[in-house]
Structure 1
Amino acid sequence: MILWVDEPDFQPEAYPMLQRLQRRGLEIRFCDDFGPHKKYFPYCRDFARDGLDLALADDDLMYPRRWLEILIRASGHVHEIPAYRAHRMKTNAGDATLADYNSWTPAPVGSNSHANFLTGGAGVLLPPRLQSAIKDAGTQFLDVAPRADDIWLNALAIRSGYRRRVVDAAGQHLTIYPRSQEQALHYENVSEGKNDTQLAAVFSLADVTSIASDNAANDITTKP
């Protein structure tokens, strides 16, 4: 497990809890301030060549005991990314654009689709080939989606041919620490509508076409 820290003068020895975790195997590594992207980008940049799956977790959530075990068991399907939580993206009929983020609904458990928009905080497993694509794309996310790591990851997944499968989270309860970064980012992107701005900057016509194609059987579109 790696904790990425973007404060150069951060001193782990000032935190006894972190020292205890380090003795149990936690690595603390330093990186530039990539915002929410720092939980995956520095690893992909430096270690994608190792060929290991990467499980994403936020540092302001408390995860249940079998969280990682269930996520790993759901892996192994070719061209799929397992994720505990996802929204079903909707497209606007006639103009090949995405419907507003706030109009999306939860993706069905067990579904596997380009229209499934994974949210990494609940838990997601990134396969090695997607990590390489993330590395190759570099820091473009700073220009188009600096505060929305999920948007960037879903777009690169589509372009790399990976659909997102929703894992059954029955009995898996996540606890969010009060006044956490997770809550602040959610308010900024969802309540203030910044997700839609970043979606428009990231998702190409080809991306939206892939989403619309997978939605066609279920007629998940927004009528004009």
Structure 2
Amino acid sequence: MKLKELPLSWWTARKLAAVKVSELERKEALVLPVIVSLTSIPSRLDIIHLTIRSLLLQSKRPEKIILWLNEQLREYLPASLSQLQNSVFEIRYVELTCSHRKLIHSLAAFPEKIIVTCDDDLMYNSTWLERLYDDHLRYPRSVIAHECRLIAFSGRGVPAPYDQWKTESRTDFSAPWLMPIGYGGVLYPPHSLHEDVQNRELFLQLTPRADDLWFKAMSYRAGTETRRSSNPGNKPIPIIASQKESLKKTNVKQDGNYQQWLALCEYYKFC
């Protein structure tokens, strides 16, 4: 986290934490036909309640928020998280340990539902979900994301290193190799991903630490357009002390994203 982000993060966290638990189950709020799906790791269990609170306080709330955790964490939930469970937010336990669980289990449990994924170390603006859904109404068959990168290839058709995949600044924009970035939130319409999405042996072989790349490959294989939203808004606010453990250290700084995307391209003959 950058030093200049600390004051806003601290203020937002205090504001969210001050909302009484009884006020989070907002039955009067307009409900969108959407499942918000996410996962977490042991080092973030003490802070993820802030993410969940921001999701429960959306201007138009989802019909369900599901946090998928590894089975071994069942006995280690802090009260700050467990007390938030209500008719909207629930925690489900699975054996899978990789980050892919944030989506694949919801795809299986709710095959006809719109599923929106997000990250567990951020606090989301109150209109975050509404803005994604508004674009879904305009492009009902597209994967919609607030943040994207454009996958780059060399002149020989070989994938370029990840640091050459430029962050996309254009809004309401689509391209074949536009890749959703999970932290901004990604909306998946029903049946928008290829059936291989559930092939655990394959995604653990090709993209063990890069669920964003796996899901991009699966949308591309299904012929589903990816589109950056028309109104991305401000970026989500990082939670203080949430980056002690992060996939960014291997996927970006050690160019793990490049190696895993290369594995996908070779297996599926993308290039």
TM normalised by structure 2 equals: 0.68
**Secondary structure in 2 matching 1:184:** coil
Q: Which residue pairs with 2:54 in the alignment?
A: none
CA distance in 1: counterparts of 2:244 and 2:117, whole angstroms: 14
CA distance in 2: counterparts of 1:118 and 1:190, whole angstroms: 15
Q: 1:140-219 counterparts in 2 under 5 A?
A: 140-180=202-242, 184-204=246-266, 206-208=269-271
Q: Which residue pairs with 1:115 in the alignment?
A: 177
Q: Number of residues paired by the alignment?
A: 204
Q: Which residue pairs with 1:219 in the alignment?
A: none
Q: Which residue pairs with 2:192 in the alignment?
A: 130
Q: Which residue pairs with 1:213 in the alignment?
A: none
Q: 1:49-68 counterparts in 2 under 5 A?
A: 51-68=112-129
Unpaired stretches in structure 2, ≥5 consecutive residues: 1-64
The answer to whether residue 135 in structure 2 is matched with residue 44 in structure 1 is no
Unpaired stretches in structure 1, ≥5 consecutive residues: 209-224
Which residue type is aligned with residue 193 of structure 1?
D
**Secondary structure in 2 matching 1:40:** helix
Deviation at 1:182, TM superposition (A): 8.6
Instruction: Indicate if the aligned counterparts of 1:60 and 1:182 stay in contact, CA closer than 8 A.
Output: no
CA distance in 1: counterparts of 2:126 and 2:217, whole angstroms: 30
Which residue type is aligned with residue 4 of structure 1?
W
Q: Which residue pairs with 1:217 in the alignment?
A: none
Instruction: Rate the CA distance shift 1:187–1:136 in 2: closer, same or farther, 3 A.
Output: closer
CA deviations on 1:75-125 (whole Å, 9 max, x unpaired) are 1425421100001111111x2211111111122222111121111121001
Q: Which residue pairs with 1:90 in the alignment?
A: 152
CA distance in 2: counterparts of 1:2 and 1:100, whole angstroms: 34
The answer to whether residue 133 in structure 2 is matched with residue 72 in structure 1 is yes
Q: Which residue pairs with 1:211 in the alignment?
A: none
Q: Which residue pairs with 1:2 in the alignment?
A: 66
Q: Which residue pairs with 1:33 in the alignment?
A: 96
Which residue type is aligned with residue 63 of structure 1?
Y
Instruction: Rate the CA distance shift 1:23–1:79 in 2: closer, same or farther, 3 A.
Output: closer
Q: Which moved more, 1:64-73 or 1:161-170?
A: 161-170
Instruction: Indicate if the aligned counterparts of 2:142 and 2:188 stay in contact, CA closer than 8 A.
Output: no
The answer to whether residue 90 in structure 2 is matched with residue 17 in structure 1 is no
CA distance in 2: counterparts of 1:163 and 1:136, whole angstroms: 20
Instruction: Rate the CA distance shift 1:56–1:206 in 2: closer, same or farther, 3 A.
Output: same
CA distance in 2: counterparts of 1:36 and 1:19, whole angstroms: 21
Which residue type is aligned with residue 207 of structure 1?
F
The alignment's C-alpha RMSD in Å is 2.2
Instruction: Rate the CA distance shift 1:67–1:78 in 2: closer, same or farther, 3 A.
Output: closer
Instruction: Indicate if the aligned counterparts of 1:87 and 1:104 stay in contact, CA closer than 8 A.
Output: yes
**Secondary structure in 2 matching 1:196:** helix
**Secondary structure in 1 matching 2:91:** strand
CA distance in 2: counterparts of 1:143 and 1:114, whole angstroms: 24
